[in-house]
Amino acid sequence: MLNKEEAKSLFEIRDDFYLNGEKIKIISGSVHYFRIVAEYWRDRLEKLKNMGCNTVETYIPWNFHEPYKGQFRWDGMHDVVRFIKTAEELGLYMIIRPSPYICAEWEFGGLPAWLLKDKGMKLRCSYKPYLDAVQDYYDVLMPMLAPLQIDNGGNIIMMQIENEYGYYGNDTAYLEFLRDRMRKNGITVPFVTSDGPWKESVFRSGQVDGALPTGNFGSSAEWQFGQMRKYMGDGKPLMCMEFWNGWFDAWGEEHHTTPPETAAKELEELLKQGHVNFYMFEGGTSFGFMSGRNNGKKTADVTSYDYDAPLTEDGQITPKYELFKNIISKYRSREDIPLSTQIRRGIQGKRYCTGKAMLFDVLEKISTPVTSPYPLTMEELDSYYGYVVYRAVMGAEETLSELRFDGMCDRAQVFSDRKLLVTVFDENVNNTFEFDGCKKGAVLDILYENMGRENFGTGLENQRKGLTAPISINDRRHYGYEIFPLPLDEEQLDRIEFSSPASLQSQGDNEPAFYLFEFNAVDRFDTFLDLDGFGKGVAFINGFNLGRFWEIGPQKRLYIPAHLFKKGKNTIIIFETEGKAAEAVNMDWKPMLSPEKET
């Protein structure tokens, strides 16, 4: 085996891509390590290699690694260095896209929500507090990546400066800051940018000196490359940095697919003229509360990031994979390597509810309230994801007759003495609601849900979550709140005291509740959690957040990788907000789509 010094190579961008003076055809696939449990990284990368790719691309989401200012995570699924080294062991080159903003249908486009604690925050531009935060992050991240570059004996051949910046702004000084900061932190490999080439102003605004412009598109490769050539000039290689071979889904919409034959035809046209990175090779899963929201869409993106990619969400080979493999073999030689990871898919079966806890029974046990005369946002509470309960108490002689939200993002359910009055969401968020029959001195509880910050568009600075202004009761503003943050982390889940579900059947019409399923597993399999009968909420297995569910679909099941199970006792907790629940859940290996849409 070569040592680091002997393994050093030179990757250059001239009229084409060159490795040690020889032209190299880059055929890459996007694999998001942060959407795949670490135990399966090698399997996905081996399958990428067997399809014929010589390179793997990944984003690095800032909020995944610095969830709180100055507190970094590099363990488990967060161990990006291990992911890069695994690719290196398989002989794969790496394209790293570490820009502060990544889009990727990921919460807030990868930006950490704590940036919004600065009420004057200006994102993705030369606003000094923002640049200072980026610099602090890069001063930690870049020295970790620098030794892994190809000219240091590693496998990183290119790095991206920003992502689709032409859609957002034209602050060239900001792009230059990112470029120069990366260089100061030891990044020596060539730089790239990526933008949509179908509009000149977009493509040019995303460019910066010292970086190769690349394009993002899913069809019409000949025309798209022709547009790129017009906007970047001759004498440079053409690369599609995101070949969209599928698409993502939003709640309430249909599942998006691209026919394998159509995608294969586009790939062949693309490879005739340039280089490619598949977006995605495998999409994976936006576990937890990390699925994003696209450009004002009300319902946000589903938990699954299957993307109709060559590999399914759970890593299975598709017809699209086989067609791509055949086309790639025309452009570079390939040889299958054995798959080294044993993946077993199976059935854990039907499991019955063993405990139930109404949210308002356990609220004060699991969350420490913050008292404030006015509502605080999630960012002000340092509780960036999940839910918040805002509690307001009516005057002893006052009856609720009219309610209005003067500042609220996403979705809220209003309860009066635990009785659901109204769900406020999207079209009706600015309405004035009228009530009768409410008793005097009622306790109003507002269960607010953060459905995901936008990950694309120019509205990123407007993504503060929670109530951003006091509610108006009977046509005047109400002051005085108890605020209960509900990030639903492991600490909060551990505090829940469950009762027998049978003893609670008659309580809590339409009330949010936690449902407990305890069971023994004799073996561990990849499987899917079927949530038929439940309304809306989030599910956990052994404290791990599997993600959101919603009966409106298209996603009906949540993926559970085998490694999240334990041999012996296992615990599933479901938090459901609509008062809809089933007495049992079922676990089998059927995919994420609803039965009527499965193929």
Tell me the three state secondary structure of residue 116.
helix
Query: Which structural domain range is residue 396 located in?
Result: 374-479
Q: What's the rounded Cα separation, in Å, for the pair 50 and 552?
A: 37
The answer on 142 and 65 residing in a single domain is: yes
Q: Point out the least confidently predicted range of 31-35, 90-94, 434-438.
A: 434-438
Q: What is the DSSP string of 341-387?
A: ----B---EEEE--EEEEHHHHHHHH---EEESS---TTTTT--SSE
Residue 94 lies in a domain: yes
Cis peptide bond prior to 158, omega within 30° of 0: no
pLDDT at residue 317, rounded to an integer = 97
Residue 362 lies in a domain: no
Residue 536 lies in a domain: yes
Look at residues 448, 479, 510 and tell me which one is the last residue of a structural domain.
479
Residue 6 lies in a domain: no
On the question of pLDDT at 599 being above 60, the answer is no
The answer on 409 and 314 residing in a single domain is: no
Question: What's the CATH number where 382 sits?
Answer: 2.60.120.260
The answer on 119 and 60 residing in a single domain is: yes
The answer on 497 and 395 residing in a single domain is: no
598: exposed, middle or buried (C-beta count within 10 Å: 0-12, 13-18, 19+)? exposed
Give the pair of three-digit tokens for residue 395.
């005057």
> In this prediction, what percent of the chain has a pLDDT beyond 90?
90
Instruction: Please write the tens of the pLDDT for every residue from 263-281.
Output: 999 999 999 999 999 999 9
The answer on 472 and 548 residing in a single domain is: no
Residue 556 lies in a domain: yes
Residue 436 lies in a domain: yes
The answer on 501 and 452 residing in a single domain is: no
Q: Point out the least confidently predicted range of 41-50, 154-163, 349-358, 435-444.
A: 435-444
Higher per-residue confidence, 597 vs 465? 465
Q: For residue 190, what is the DSSP state?
A: P
Instruction: Please write the tens of the pLDDT for every residue from 517-563.
Output: 999 998 999 999 999 999 999 999 999 999 999 999 999 999 999 99
Q: How many domains does the chain have?
A: 3
- Please provide the size of the chain in residues: 599
Q: What's the rounded Cα separation, in Å, for the pair 357 and 519?
A: 18
The answer on 267 and 126 residing in a single domain is: yes
The answer on 429 and 288 residing in a single domain is: no
For range 321-327, the mean pLDDT:
98
What lies within 8 Å, CB to CB, of 37 at 6+ separation is 77, 561, 563, 564
Cα-based angle 300, 138, 153 (whole degrees, multiple of 5)? 110
The answer on 395 and 272 residing in a single domain is: no
Residue 4 lies in a domain: no
On the question of pLDDT at 412 being above 90, the answer is yes
The answer on 428 and 409 residing in a single domain is: yes
Look at residues 479, 512, 533 and tell me which one is the last residue of a structural domain.
479
The answer on 284 and 432 residing in a single domain is: no
CB 283 within 8 A of CB 306: yes
What lies within 8 Å, CB to CB, of 378 at 6+ separation is 113, 384, 385, 388, 450, 464, 465, 466, 485
Give the pair of three-digit tokens for residue 275.
């280089």
Residues designated as active site: 164, 242
CB 289 within 8 A of CB 384: no
Question: What's the CATH number where 93 sits?
Answer: 3.20.20.80
> Cα–Cα distances in Å, from 74 out to 96, 149, 161, 284, 326?
16, 19, 22, 19, 37
568: exposed, middle or buried (C-beta count within 10 Å: 0-12, 13-18, 19+)? exposed
- Whole-prediction pTM: 0.96
Look at residues 450, 479, 508 and tell me which one is the last residue of a structural domain.
479
The answer on 445 and 314 residing in a single domain is: no
Residue 5 lies in a domain: no
On the question of pLDDT at 59 being above 80, the answer is yes
Residue 283's φ and ψ, nearest 5 degrees, are -80, -45
pLDDT at residue 594, rounded to an integer = 41
